[in-house]
Structure formats: structure tokens, C-alpha cells
Structure 1
Amino acid sequence: MHKLLVVDDEPIVLESIRFIAERHLPQTFAVEGAFSGSEAIEKSETFKPDLVFMDIRMPGLNGIEAIREIRSRHKELIFVIITAYDHFNYAKEALQLNVLDYLVKPIRKERVVEVLKKAFGLLEEKLETIRRTAALKEQFAKLSVHLENEFLYSLLLGNQVTPDLDFYEGTFGMELKRGYLILLQLQETPEKSSDPVTFSLRRHALFQAFRFALKSRCACLVGAATLNRMIGFVPAAEASDEYVLRNRAIGLAEAVKQEVKSAGLLSCLMGIGRAHSLPDFLKGYEEAERALESGALQGQSGEEIFHISDTFPFVKTYALYPLQKERLLVDRVLLGDGAGVEELYRELFGGQQEGTLTMAGYKRRLSELVVVLTRALSYQGISEAESEAQLLACLENEDWQLVSAGFGGRLLALTQKLKKLQEEKVARASLRMVQYVEKNYASDLKLDDAAQMMNMSYHYFSKFFKQHTGQTFTDYLAGIRVGRAEGLLAGSEVSIKEVGCRVGYKDPNYFSKIFKKLTGLTPSEYRGLAGGGHDAF
């Protein structure tokens, strides 16, 4: 049922139109009245009519002014004017406000019915348009999910979407030429085997929550779930700074993870790749996988989000056929995992191969491993020629056991060497990090500044710093500053305010608060005990 507001200072007009509407168009209009322009404006908000019959000559605010005011708030409202004047001086102005029709007093029943039917037809057309639009939006929402899936998995399968890129960008309303991937992976739980139905429902709820949380925070595409994984593609501008983009991506993933976690759903991990153009989409997916698997392998306790730029070489967990196991062996070498290298080497190249391969075939397989391994080692600072020479020298022997043992020993030695190099690299990074803080403590030093200097995201840098110093960045910086302040307070005449400024605290009250927190004394008390200069601020 539509709503009709009749505005006229003569009550008989309202009652006449109400009677005609109920008699000739029953169950079509709910009729309400107003007796002035001001009351009409008020009822346009409270009654919310679809159609207004407005007398243009009323005491106070006239009908033209009331129409203009109501129209400014409700542009789709339909107006019909009522006038007692045949010449329509007012009516001409009303027509400029896009009124539907007019009624001349004394009002005739036939004319009222005619105008009501005309308005009813227009209202029904509008309502049908709204219904069709809502239906189209619903259909598009369903189709959009399929199109997103088609777009993402076409790229995952190595298919080119460039010829259709304009279509996809127009359909999704976003640029898709470059972006990064967030890979969600469900963590295994005992519930999967004990109650598979409940697990499946909770798994579905997790993926739906991930989709909603990500899409509600940014323009992005989310693919369909495959087994225990789901991917999200977040577009990135061509000129985006990699460091800024990395921190933004981690922040986005943390917000999504928090929302998913607060819903009490299953546990999950997220891996994030760097931003790439569409031709390198697979590289971005591989990086997200590497981030996920490398972060988990490194045992970053409590961590659930990993960015490729914050991780070391990764380990793949696939073990379906020898080539994949060889890749896994290479990854174990790169991680300095001696025990893992020994175990996989025995499985791939141990004595059991003697009955299944010729010596030439055995050596060929080891040679193929050398090619892959030496190239990977060269990226980690070990000379490709040196490692290749060491490994190939083992293949000159014709005895199975000597070849196997010799190659395995050299491989383990390279693993241990790489582990030492990585430990030294981490130690140098730790030293560089501490030296940077000690050198810049007096400036307005922020965690983000130090993280950028180290080329780490602030998220990863914060964990790295605490792991290697035993303190948070803020606590460590405060300790350095207070230590320097103690020396200045005890051995100089510098004012306490100036001491605070020299060690990085511009606010003397905050300086005093931090100083007392760490030493148990105010700067003045410390100076008095140490026999330093005056206490003036």
C-alpha cells in the first residue's frame, strides 16, 4: 500500500480526497493530512509519503515553498498541486519543480480518480524498477563470485587473462594489473577426524568469514576454497612503495585474522607475497606459499601471519615423487637443517638405489641435483663453482658406497657451512640493529624507522628485535636513554630538562616518569645521590 499526504488548510478537502481514494481505489493508498506548509515538511519525515497533494495557497509557508523544501530532501517524491485559480500563476512555478499534475478547486471526483490512477501507475513502475534492480544486484553478486573464481584460477593455471582484462576490471570496478596475494591455510585439528561433519561446517564458516572480513576492508578478489586453502588478491598501484605496501598488507591480514579469530572459528595461518603484475601472478602465489611454509618451519612461535620479505628460504611439504623430494632436500640444505638433509639424502640416494639404477643413472641423478643445488647456494653467498667442484669430485669414483657416502658428506658439510653463514648474517643484522639504536637514541627514533633501515616490516622487526635482545624495542631504547642520562646527571651541570632533550625526551615530565620507572628515583634525586650539578629544570 502506498502513502498519500494531502496538504490543504481546508479539512473538507482532505476528507473528500480520502473518501474518493478509499471508495474508488480501495487498499491502494493510506491517506494522512496536513493543514499547513510547515506541518507538511514535518510529516514528509514522519509519515514518509510516496505521493503528496499540495495546496499552493495556504497561510504562512505556501505550497510552492513547502514543495521546494521537501524536494531538497526527497527528490523521488511525487507531487500533485491543488489550486483555486484557473490561470495558474502559481501553477507555472510549481510545474518547474517537476510536479506530476494539478487539481483545480472545486475538485471533481473524476479528476481526483484520474490523477490517483496516474500516480499509482508511476509508483508501481518505480517499485518494479526497484525490484528488478535488487534482483539484478543479487544475480550479479552470485555471478561475481564465479567470475572472481574464474579470474583467479585461470591465473593459477597459467592462463593469460590480458585479452579480457578490461572486461574483468569493468565488472569488478577495480584495476587488476598488479597486486599481492594473501593465502589462508587452515591448521589441522583433531576435530577433522573425530567429527568430520562439524569440522566441514566450521571450515566453511571460516572461509566465509575470511571472504567477508577481507572484502569489507578493501577492494579485492577472493577465490573459492580448495581443500584447506583460500586466496585473496589485493590490487596495488604500479607506483606503490614496497616497504609501505608490505606493512599495509600485514596490517590488513592482522585485522582480518582478528575478526576471524573473534568469531571463535578454526585456527588458520596466512602467507603474503610481494606485489606483482599479472604475468607474474604465479610467482606471487609461490611467494605466499613460501612465506606460509617457511614461517611455520622456522618455528616463529605464536605467529600466524608471514610475509615473504620477512622469511628465510622455505620448505615444501609435498612428497609425492622424487623430483618433489629433491626440491625438499634442497630446501633443507638452504635452511641449514643437517638432520633433515641426512634423512632425505638416505631416502633419495641411499644404498637401496643400487638395485634400481645403473651407476651412470645414479651419477646422472646426483649431477642434476648439483645443478639445482649450486644455483640455490649461490644466492646464499656460497660460490657456485666451489660447491659444484666439491660435489662433482665425488662422482669420479665407481664404487656405489664411496660415491654415496662421499657426496652425502660433502652435502652435509655445505649445509653446515650455510647454517654458519646464516647465523653470522643474523648476528651481523642483530649487531647492526643495536648499533643503529645506540647511535640514534637521542633523535625522535621510532620502531618503524629502525625497521625500515633493516628492510623488515615493523611487525617482523619487533619480533626479531625482542628475540635477539630479550627486550622490546621501546624498553631497550628507554634503557639506552636512561643510561646516558645517568652519566649526564652525575657528571655535568646541564639542567634536567636539557639532559632529557639530549637523550631523546623533549617532554621533561615524560623523561622524569621513564627515569623513575627504570631507576626508582627521579632525575633530581639521582643527581643528589650522585653528587652532580644543580636540579634546575
Structure 2
Amino acid sequence: MIKLLIVDDEPIERDGMQAILQRAYNDFDIKQAKNGKIAIDLAASWKPDWIFMDIMMPGMTGLEAIEKIQQGNRDIQFIMVTAFDTFDYARQAIKLGVKNYLLKPSKAGEIVATVGKLLEQQAQKEQVSAAQHQQKEDFQKALAIVETDVVTQLLFDHVHDVHIELLVDMLEIPATAEKFVMTVLVPEGLGRLYPQVKEKIRQTENAWIGALYGCQLPIIVFRDKEKSFRSQAISLVKAILSISGSRQEGWFVGVGPVCESLEDIRNSYQKSLIATMDLSLPSRYRFSSDVPSLEKVGDAAFIKQQEKKLFDFIRLGEWESIDRLVTDLIRRFEQEGVNILWTQQRTLEFLWITARVMGEIGIDATIPITQFKPKTIDSCLWKRFKWLDG
């Protein structure tokens, strides 16, 4: 119902106006005020939609009351009621935004017609407001799709007709120089919590949030220069895990390294996947830099190149190429006399990335694990054959 306040120092005028409106319309909740001060107090506590304001009242004029009421509420519609049809009153009322007025004494038909016009204006306003609200909702939905599409393209290098830079320009959250990827593992069956996770991330950090693929949610987080990398990441991890409450089984967050370009973002994503290899950690999160590494400094560039090839093969579904890549790597390590444990770790990392990314593109894959220490290169090959061929 529309809440309407009638302000007039004459009781007969107030009662007559209320009687006319109640006979003509059923959707009004009407109250009265006999002066400007009472009107100001009622406007603050009751918050009427419309106010019929008499202009000439003792103590405080209607125009003065309107001005004070507008300080606390600019949305109230005022109808000026006056016995003086003068330009001076009209000019002051216009300055205050009053667009409708009634001359006293008013006929019942004039009052009803004025209210009818106001109701029509309000209906039109509500229609415009509803259309604008719908447009805003549609735009936000479109932005959410663009955001997940940007993350998908950056992390999986999918080919789209729209260039990535054009999509990035559409997003409300701009990219910063430094960024890193976090991969959130959400327990199976709790995908319904995706909106809550997304909202929690929005409240905590500037980030682009990807789609929930199976149980995995990739996030591109932009660096906050006022915090250290680890403190920023840990703060976001805690915010995400707070959604799970005291039951954090199955929840885990892998944090990749900081990178400076969108071109290098996939490396941070791959490292975030590697950080999720051991889900038994009580902290429920791990930085990729904390994953024990036995690799030699000279092998870093080569391993990174092979990881990129692996990622591309998975994306394109070239499973035989993945098979050859992992096998060739193990054989190369054998020829170079590489430490057996290092070979096992690299083999598992490559198989782990393969399984994770396969899951994200909708292909069921068992996560490769190991419970033994290899003694020969052949045992690493056996592990690879057992998983890839299975």
C-alpha cells in the first residue's frame, strides 16, 4: 500500500481529504499531521511515500517543512496544497522539486484526478525501474560468463572468435602487473556452494573466478602490493575454507607462484595443481614453492617446456602424444643418470596435471598416487603404463 501523509493545520481539511481518497482508492495507508514539526517527525519514523503539504501553516510553513524532510529522504513525492495561486509559492516549490499542487478549496474530482495522475506516474516509474534492474541483472550475468570465459582461455588456451584482450576489457576487475593462480578443490557433491565461494572471494580479493569443473575451481588472484604474497594468499585461503566450517575434509587449496604476464598464467596454474598432490596436509592448503623439489637448476627451462607441451596435448586430446612425452622423459632421465626419486616426482607431477586437467574438461580420470619408493627407472615406467593405459 502507498503510505500517504496529509499535513494541514485545519482538521476539516485533513478529514475531508482523507475521506475523498479512501472512497476513491483502496490502496492507501493514510496518516495526518497538524503542523510542519509533526510532519517532519512522521516522515522520519513512518517514511511515507507521498505527502500532501499545506503551504500556509502557523509556526513553520509547508515549504520549510518540505526542505527539512528532503534532507533525510529525497524519494518522497510532495503535493503542494495552497489557497494562494501565486508565482512566488510555485517558484519556491519548483526549486524543492515539487511538481504537483492543489488549490484550496479543491473539488473531489480534482483531488481524485491529481492522485490518479500520480499513480500513473508511479506505475511508469516502477516499470522503468524494473526494466533497469533486469538490464543490470542481465549485464552482471553476462559479465560472469565473460569472466569464466577469460579464465578458461587463459588457463586452457581454448580458441574463441572473440579476442582475449576484448574480453578482458569488459571485466569490472582490471588485471594488475602481478598475479597468481589458486586451485580450490571442493568436496564432491558440494558444488552448490560455488556461489558462496565466489561471493567470499569477491569480498576478500580482486580476482577473476573460473567455472567449477567437477570439484575444481581455478582463480586468478591479483597481487595486493600492501601485503606479502603469502599473507595475501593465506588470507584468501582462510576466507574460502571458512565456508566449510569445522568440516574441511575434501577441501584443499593449491597456490601457484606469482607471474607478471597473462601469457605466463598457465605456469602458475600448473604449479597450483602440483601443490594439491598431497591432500593429507592438516593446513588444507599448500604453496607450490613448498613442494619438495629435487630438480637440477639446469633442467628448469626444459621441464617448463615439457609441461607446456603436456598441457597443450591434454587440451587437444592427443593422448598418444602424452604417452610418448612421459615415456620419453623417463627414458631421458635414465640416460642422464638422474636421481630415481626425482624421476618419480616428475613422473607423478606430469600424471597429476594430466588427471586434473582431464577432470576439468569433463573426462573422468583417477588421480595417480604412489605408496612406494622406486628402485629403478623401470618401476617409474610401470607406474606410467599402469595409469595411462588404464
Same-fold status (TM-score > 0.5): yes
Measure, in 2, the Cα distance between the counterparts of 1:9 and 1:109. 20
Deviations 1:315-359 (A, max 9, x none): 99x99735336658969643897x644355335389x9xxxxxxx
What residue is the counterpart of 1:135 in the other structure?
A: 134
Q: Are residues 1:307 and 2:307 paired? A: no
| Deviation (angstroms), 1:230 | 0.9
Equivalences for 1:405-444 in 2 at 5 Å?
A: none
| Structure 1 residues 88 and 349: CA distance shift in structure 2, 3 A | closer
Aligned pair partner of 1:281 in 249, 265, 269 = 265
Measure, in 1, the Cα distance between the counterparts of 2:125 and 2:73. 15
| Deviation (angstroms), 1:55 | 1.0
| Structure 1 residues 169 and 39: CA distance shift in structure 2, 3 A | farther
Q: Quick one: which amino acid aligns to residue 345 of structure 1?
A: D
What residue is the counterpart of 1:261 in the other structure?
A: 244
Deviations 1:134-162 (A, max 9, x none): 32333334333322221111222225889
Q: Quick one: which amino acid aligns to residue 136 of structure 2?
A: K
What residue is the counterpart of 1:19 in the other structure?
A: 19
Deviations 1:398-441 (A, max 9, x none): xxxxxxxxxxxxxxxxxxxxxxxxxxxxxxxxxxxxxxxxxxxx
Q: Is the 8 A contact 2:271 2:288 kept in 1?
A: yes
Return 155-164 or 51-60, whichever deviates more. 155-164
| Structure 1 residues 64 and 327: CA distance shift in structure 2, 3 A | farther
| Deviation (angstroms), 1:247 | 1.8
What residue is the counterpart of 1:70 in the other structure?
A: 69
Q: Is the 8 A contact 2:153 2:164 kept in 1?
A: no
| Structure 1 residues 325 and 141: CA distance shift in structure 2, 3 A | farther
Higher fraction of helix: 1
Q: Is the 8 A contact 1:177 1:235 kept in 2?
A: yes
State the superposition RMSD in angstroms: 3.5
Q: Are residues 1:40 and 2:39 paired? A: yes
Unaligned runs of 5+ in 1: 188-198, 353-537
> Higher Cα Rg: structure 1 or 2?
1
Task: Give the structure, 1 or 2, with the largest relative contact order (CA under 8 Å, sep 6 or more).
Answer: 2
| Structure 1 residues 270 and 347: CA distance shift in structure 2, 3 A | closer
Aligned length: 327
Equivalences for 1:265-344 in 2 at 5 Å?
A: 266-276=249-259, 277-293=261-277, 296=278, 301-313=281-293, 321=323, 323-324=325-326, 333-334=341-342, 340-342=373-375, 344=377
Equivalences for 1:354-503 in 2 at 5 Å?
A: none
SS in 2 for 1:79: strand
Measure, in 2, the Cα distance between the counterparts of 1:314 and 1:47. 72
Measure, in 2, the Cα distance between the counterparts of 1:52 and 1:309. 66
Measure, in 2, the Cα distance between the counterparts of 1:262 and 1:323. 42
What residue is the counterpart of 1:6 in the other structure?
A: 6
TM-score scaled by length of structure 2: 0.72
| Structure 1 residues 332 and 236: CA distance shift in structure 2, 3 A | farther
Measure, in 2, the Cα distance between the counterparts of 1:332 and 1:136. 60
Measure, in 2, the Cα distance between the counterparts of 1:129 and 1:6. 28
Unaligned runs of 5+ in 2: 296-306, 308-313, 334-338, 346-371, 386-390
Q: Are residues 1:94 and 2:89 paired? A: no
What is the percentage of aligned positions where both structures have the same residue? 24
What residue is the counterpart of 1:113 in the other structure?
A: 112
Q: Quick one: which amino acid aligns to residue 23 of structure 2?
A: R
Q: Quick one: which amino acid aligns to residue 310 of structure 1?
A: D
Equivalences for 1:70-219 in 2 at 5 Å?
A: 70-159=69-158, 163-170=163-170, 172-178=171-177, 179-186=179-186, 200=189, 203-219=190-206
| Deviation (angstroms), 1:269 | 1.0
